Amino acid sequence: MELSVISPLEQPEALRKFIWEAGLRFPEQPDTPLFWTGLSLNDRLIACAAIEVYENDGLLRSVAVAKEYRGKSYGAALLKAAVILARLKKLRSLYLFTENAKDFFEQHGFKPMERTQLPANITSSEQAAQECGIQAHVMYRAVPESPPLFLVLCTGNSCRSQMAHAYLAKYLAGRGSVYSAGVETHGLNPGAVSILMEDGLDITQHTSNHVDEYGHLRFDFILTVCDHARETCPWIPGNALRIHHNFSDPSKVKGSHEEVHSAFLRTREEISSFCRKLAEALNPDDKQSIPQ
């Protein structure tokens, strides 16, 4: 099964069902910027979260995981995605109200606080005035100021990871730092260099790096792009959100120039589409409501 980070708004019926089953309310402050992120498993939405933005502060809302997937670390993965979203939006802090999940949030970096310590913009929010907000525990965590670090991992850091590195950096547009590496190093694949150049991306200055070279970094997000890399990935320090997608390997294709070019083009388009959707899910545009 393949886990992905997506926008929950792509599956509004599933999103409405999550919120209803969790006994939560949709965020309803129309003048407040609202950003959604979520997780899907084999293209099925299984978790969602939203952040209301009040200047430099965020209010975490509508955190929900489908019943059959609770207790399987998906809630932890969802919170990691939400914190990455907050970092990409350059928020200073995240607040939340919870009646029954205090222990869960505490396990993932949130600390209890007194309601009197809330900033005025959060105190005046719609949720704070609701009955659940009045009775709930108030929790807080600081958001790191540094941009999140992304690692794309493949077998030889030669072809697919180099493509994903280029496209993820393009779609994040400088809001995060992207690295790529391999469990081996095979050098840059000329076909990958060429097919990216056709799309205006120049990776000739990239190098083929071994994952051990980045042992001093604490990545926030790790994307493995081939099954071998996922199966042989060494322990990497930190508490990263890990996502896997096995892209087709054009370097294994034999045949005419046209056949090989077609294979590289197909993989390039797969990777470009995946990275664009990933960047949008981690750093979405303002969405004020659920589609009806």
In tens, the pLDDT along 136-181 reads 899 999 999 999 999 999 999 999 999 999 999 999 998 999 999 9
Q: Report the alpha-carbon distance of residue 236 to residue 215 in Å, rounded.
A: 7
Looking at residue 192, its pLDDT comes to 97
Which residues lie across from 154 on neighbouring strands?
A: 182
In tens, the pLDDT along 8-39 reads 988 888 888 888 887 787 776 667 889 999 99
In tens, the pLDDT along 254-272 reads 999 999 999 999 999 999 9
In tens, the pLDDT along 216-240 reads 999 999 999 988 767 766 667 678 9
- What is the CATH topology of the domain spanning 3-145? Aminopeptidase (3.40.630)
Q: In this predicted model, which residue has the larger pLDDT, 277 or 131?
A: 277
Long-range contacts of 101-110 (CB under 8 A, 24+ apart): 101/63, 102/137, 102/139, 104/75, 105/79, 105/139, 106/139, 107/76, 108/76, 108/79, 109/79, 109/83, 109/141, 110/139, 110/140, 110/141
In tens, the pLDDT along 52-107 reads 999 999 999 999 998 889 888 999 999 999 999 999 999 999 999 998 899 999 99
Catalytic residues: 154, 226, 233
3-state secondary structure the chain: CCEEEECHHHCHHHHHHHHHHCCCCCCCCCCCCEEEEEEEECCEEEEEEEEEEECCEEEEEEEEECHHHCCCCHHHHHHHHHHHHHHHCCCCEEEEEECCCHHHHHHCCCEECCHHHCCHHHHCCHHHHCHHHHHCEEEEEECCCCCCEEEEEECCCCCHHHHHHHHHHHHHCCCCEEEEEECCCCCCCHHHHHHHHCCCCCCCCCCCCEHHHHCCCCCCEEEECCHHHHHHCCCCCCCCEEEECCCCCHHHCCCCHHHHHHHHHHHHHHHHHHHHHHHHHHCCCCCCCCCC
Q: Report the alpha-carbon distance of residue 126 to residue 151 in Å, rounded.
A: 38
Stretch(es) of the chain classified as CATH 3.40.50.2300: 149-279
288 has a pLDDT exceeding 70: no
Q: Report the alpha-carbon distance of residue 29 to residue 289 in Å, rounded.
A: 9
Tell me the CATH class for 149-279.
alpha beta
**Are 186 and 206 in contact, with CB atoms under 8 Å apart?**
no
Stretch(es) of the chain classified as CATH 3.40.630.30: 3-145
Joined together, the tokens standing for residue 222 give: 């790790």
Looking at residue 135, its pLDDT comes to 81
290 has a pLDDT exceeding 60: no
pLDDT band at 292 (very low <50, low <70, confident <90, very high): very low
